[in-house]
Amino acid sequence: MATSTSPQHIDVRLPHNTSVKQERELGAFARYCVQRIEKDLGERQQWIVEIDLGGRGYSALVEVRYRDLQLETRGYGQDGPLAIWDAMCRMEQELRHSLFASTRAAND
C-alpha cells in the first residue's frame, strides 16, 4: 500500500498499483472529508483511510483515534471517491453519536 500523510494526522493508504494521479486525487478527497468533519466536530488525533478494490467495487475503511476512543467503519462504492464518501458519512454519524453520548454523560 502507498501511504500519503498530509496533514500528518491523516494517513491515506492505497493499493500499490494506484497511479500517481489517483493517489493525489483520492488522497486530496480523503483529506478534504476529514477536514470538513473536523471543522464541525474538532480535530482528532489520527485518521486512517484505507481504500481497496475488490470484486464488487471499491471499499474504504476509515479508522479514527481520539483520546481513548477508537472508531472504525467501512463504506462501499463504484469508485474510490464514492467509497470514501460513504465511509466518511458513516464515521461522521458515529463521531456525532459519541460526542453526544459523552456530553450527555458529563451533564448527568
Q: Distances in Å between the alpha carbon of 103 and those of 90, 97, 107?
A: 20, 10, 6
Per-residue cell: 23? 493517489
pLDDT band at 6, cuts 50/70/90? very low
pLDDT tens profile 42-80: 899 999 999 999 888 999 999 999 888 899 999 999 999
**Quick one: 52 exposed, middle or buried, by C-beta within 10 A (0-12, 13-18, 19+)?**
middle
pLDDT band at 3, cuts 50/70/90? very low
Rounded to two decimals, the pTM is: 0.84
pLDDT at 74 (0 to 100)? 97
Q: What are the structural domains, with CATH classification, of the chain?
A: 2-107 (3.30.160.100)
